[in-house]
A and B are shown apart, each in its own frame.
Chain A
């Protein structure tokens, strides 16, 4: 049993049947966002399974299609149905599944073609169908046939230009976790919901052509406005905002070897006094208690000295203490949590963020919960499906 359970109210997508033809984190995450809210998402796979099933890491090193954590990350709550495009009989089964679908999520139009359909005629035959394509650069334009990867998407879209180290002999560094693809997924999810609202109002479906490249190109925060307005280019800096001009480091190492993020904005008097009181309480304020430092201009002039004292102040405490004590004093400080820290975070724990997800083999693992909570309805995501787990019914429907 891998479908999400609606545990309160009615989910707005629980009546929907979705056909997903995806194998990258962009399309798969889009399908997961629907499936985790109770939509019936039929993941159609080729014999042997989609590429993500063959990508590691694997559960306890078991390299087979049912133990890929790459697959688990993006495919919870779905139904898996293998369709061999070479078989006329199986293409007919696919056609019957498609006939009952409200939504199609598609990464490669050629894949749909191999299964006997093309986008133009499908739209003509099924004007009620919402078709979301999520492709590297979009279905049109001079770069439409270019391919991508997460690194390449971040590079082309401008995100990578902002990320890396102060030392520019080191190339820009890719932020981890497939975020280039995730940006595509976030916009595909919003566009899909817009299309569902339109369909509810008019009865008409439509084609939604999402470009991963464009999703990255509009998500650089300050970088584009800095070019659109003062025509300045931002330059990467270690773990803090890329800016036209260099700023002071904001990542500090602590006594336990972990790091905290803290950007002191010298012009903020309240933050300055909070920090000063904290340093004084530990006998570490040194000459910063001199009233001259109450003047912003004086602080700015002595910034190097201030920065050195803060470095030492954090280096003698562990990161957990700095994080919570700093926050208690009203300072926006964050500990750079490693993954193993997250399951021990008391806040996430008390909010019940991590689910205990039962895999299709009966073992239980912590798994990230939904990114939003609604008072009107709740769902509990289900396990990612084994390959062809739902083959018993020819139409791919669940038990």
Chain B
């Protein structure tokens, strides 16, 4: 295991990994970050990207799951196939989630560890957590108690169900949140089981709302000097993302448990066809095409070199195309099936038809010229993993660029900087705390 030597160069042997003043709109903001797993780590990553000093608090006795998950270079393993004694610095998912953050280790069960954390909270003034409900309470770190440490504290709590109500203690992660909020039921072919989501969408979306909640609280404190507690329920964020289909039920009393819902890849509103995902050349390759107007339909026909079947009067209007969608799909599929998905995308887009290849992660990294030109993915080196790609912020800001200064912290990498330089503990004290497993 890699360990920081106090007072010496930081682990990894490079001065480039030494904490330095940050740039960006959040420069000067400091966060005592108890977040772990996905939601919390993604939420505070945005703050770290834009200049906040986010200090990730870890416990050597209970490693953050992304440090354990076997997403390693050169080894293909499924999610559950963990190494019983993983190298905590080798996990790709952790690297992805915790770039630009500082990392410290501390055992809260030891009074000396607790004292360090209380000092850190007073120093930072922003506290974030996504533990199971009850953990912060057991540590006597509720909002009123944090306010005693620092009156203007911001305390962001991120959970599946929120911190009040009869199900507040229910266990959840992305797929459970998606199920309970209606986002899984919402997705699939009519007449069969929902296909839902192939990812923890709500880990990301709840994280983004948690980032926004933190930014609102920080902005509010800049304007008023006041702190706040923030309570975000991922389930509630999920319900808020259901859109007009939910209102159709709430306002029109139209049940969503009905024969023609969900709709697969077709739309009920607006009335349009063809609208779907069509086979492309190769194994399990697909292209999405969405035709909304008669003009786009004519453009699609022209791109397909005006086949005779397209002259059928049944296809002349949107209503006719919707009524004969199955037949239309068979014709379009016959045209797309022998063609490369990107070729179809580019030809149709150039002809004014909305279309895209169903891209996988290799396509995004190696073929997508837009991602390449915009620099969406960027590379940082890591002492154990080596160079790796990261998913960057998906917008360009003319003055507030992200400050991507370092890959994820090694376990305890910044103990010396945080406990020593920021909190003023001397080297002997830190050596003793390290030897006794407190940090």
- Distance A22 CA – B278 CA, assembled complex (angstroms): 30
Q: A175-B187, A340-B257 are in contact. Are A194 and B397 (CB under 8 A)?
A: yes
Whether, in the assembled complex, A112 has its beta carbon less than 8 Å from a beta carbon of chain B, the answer is no
Q: Are A179 and B241 touching (Cβ within 8 A)? A: yes
Whether, in the assembled complex, A371 has its beta carbon less than 8 Å from a beta carbon of chain B, the answer is yes
Q: Are A157 and B245 touching (Cβ within 8 A)? A: no
- Distance A197 CA – B46 CA, assembled complex (angstroms): 14
Tell me which of B161, B182, B395 has the highest count of chain A C-beta atoms within 10 A of its own C-beta. Answer: B395
Q: A155-B357, A197-B26, A259-B193 are in contact. Are A190 and B46 (CB under 8 A)?
A: yes
Q: Are A243 and B79 touching (Cβ within 8 A)? A: yes
Q: Are B194 and A251 touching (Cβ within 8 A)? A: yes
Contacts of A161 in B (CB 8 A): 358-361
Render A316-331 as a binary contact track against B, CB cut-off 8 A, 1 for contact: 0000000100010011
Closest Cβ of chain B to A26, distance in Å, is 12
Residues of chain A from 153 to 200 with CB closer than 8 A to chain B in the complex: 153-165, 168, 170-179, 182-183, 186-191, 193-198, 200
Task: Select one of B179, B186, B212, B399 contacting A193, CB under 8 A.
Answer: B212
Interface size counted on chain A using CB atoms at 8 A: 162
Whether, in the assembled complex, A255 has its beta carbon less than 8 Å from a beta carbon of chain B, the answer is no
Render B183-215 as a binary contact track against A, CB cut-off 8 A, 1 for contact: 111111100011111111101110011111101
Task: Select one of A142, A210, A335 contacting B180, CB under 8 A.
Answer: A335
- Distance A168 CA – B284 CA, assembled complex (angstroms): 7
Contacts of B162 in A (CB 8 A): 351, 373
- Distance A244 CA – B76 CA, assembled complex (angstroms): 8
- Chain A residue with minimal CB distance to B43? A190
Q: Are B185 and A376 touching (Cβ within 8 A)? A: no
Contacts of A372 in B (CB 8 A): 209-210, 212-213, 216, 230-232
- Distance A265 CA – B359 CA, assembled complex (angstroms): 30
Closest Cβ of chain B to A123, distance in Å, is 8
Closest Cβ of chain B to A305, distance in Å, is 18
Q: Are A186 and B208 touching (Cβ within 8 A)? A: yes
- Chain A residue with minimal CB distance to B174? A221
Q: Are A347 and B161 touching (Cβ within 8 A)? A: yes
Contacts of A215 in B (CB 8 A): 394-395
Q: Are A233 and B166 touching (Cβ within 8 A)? A: no
Q: Are B356 and A214 touching (Cβ within 8 A)? A: no
Contacts of B223 in A (CB 8 A): 10, 12, 200
- Chain B residue with minimal CB distance to A235? B284
Known contacts A183-B205, A348-B235; can you find 16 more A-B pairs with CB under 8 A?
A155-B356, A163-B197, A170-B189, A195-B25, A196-B219, A208-B396, A224-B96, A224-B361, A225-B92, A228-B389, A239-B197, A240-B198, A245-B76, A260-B179, A261-B178, A261-B196
A selection of 26 A-B contacts at a CB cut-off of 8 Å is A72-B251, A140-B374, A141-B374, A151-B288, A152-B355, A164-B195, A194-B50, A204-B399, A207-B398, A211-B394, A215-B394, A217-B371, A224-B96, A226-B361, A234-B361, A238-B195, A239-B196, A259-B193, A337-B182, A337-B185, A339-B242, A345-B180, A347-B161, A347-B167, A374-B220, A376-B227
